[in-house]
Chains A and B, each alone.
Chain A
Amino acid sequence: MSAVTAGRAPAPAVSTRSHVLRALVHAEARRMMRNPVPWLCLALSVWGMWMVVPEPGEWPASSYEAMNPTAVPLLFGISLAVAVPFHRARLEVAPAAPVAEHQRVLARLLAATLFVLVAAGFAGLVAWRERDLGGLWIGMEPGRTTEALHTTAELSQFVVLGVLAVALGAALGRRVSRLVALVPALFVLWFVVMVYWLFGHASVTPFSIMQVQPLVLEVGPATADPLSFPSDWLLVGEPHTSGGWARQWVSGALAWWHDVWLLGLAALLLAAAWPRPGRRVLLAAGLALAVAGVVGQHVVIP
Chain B
Amino acid sequence: MSSVLVQAALPTARATRWTPGAALAGLLVAATALTGYADRPADLVLAIAAAGLAATVVAGLQDPAAALLEALPVSVMRRRVLRLAVVGAPALAVWWLLDSLSTAQLSGPGPLLALTATGVAVAVWAPPRRAVLLGASTPVALFTLHQVVPSGTTSDVIAWWLTDPWWVLAAATLLCVAGRRR
Interface residues of A (CB under 8 A from B): 44, 47-48, 51, 73, 176-181, 183-185, 187-189, 191-192, 194-195, 197-201, 204, 242
Q: Could you tell me the distance between the alpha carbons of A198 and B45 in the complex, rounded to whole angstroms?
A: 10
Closest beta carbon of chain B to A118's beta carbon, Å? 18
The answer to whether B137 touches A183, judged by C-beta atoms less than 8 angstroms apart, is yes
Interface residues of B (CB under 8 A from A): 17, 20-21, 23-24, 27-28, 31, 34-35, 37-40, 44-45, 48-49, 51-53, 55-56, 59, 62, 132-133, 136-137, 140, 143-144, 147-148, 150
Majority SS at the chain B contact face: helix
Q: Which 4 A-B pairs have the closest CB atoms?
A: A184-B55, A188-B52, A184-B56, A181-B20
Residue A195 contacts which of B17, B48, B59, B133 (CB distance < 8 angstroms)?
B48
Closest beta carbon of chain B to A189's beta carbon, Å? 7
Residues on A with beta carbons closer than 8 Å to the beta carbon of B48: 187-188, 191-192, 194-195
The answer to whether B38 touches A184, judged by C-beta atoms less than 8 angstroms apart, is no
Closest beta carbon of chain B to A180's beta carbon, Å? 4
The answer to whether A187 touches B45, judged by C-beta atoms less than 8 angstroms apart, is no
Residues on B with beta carbons closer than 8 Å to the beta carbon of A178: 17, 20, 59, 62
Q: Could you tell me the distance between the alpha carbons of A200 and B40 in the complex, rounded to whole angstroms?
A: 11
Closest to A189 in B: B27
Closest to B56 in A: A184
The answer to whether A180 touches B52, judged by C-beta atoms less than 8 angstroms apart, is no
- 11 pairs from A and B in contact (CB 8 Å cutoff): A44-B148, A51-B148, A51-B150, A180-B59, A180-B136, A184-B21, A187-B55, A191-B143, A192-B48, A197-B40, A198-B38
Tell me whether A181 and B148 are in contact in the complex, defined as CB-CB below 8 angstroms, given that A192-B48, A195-B45 are known contacts.
no
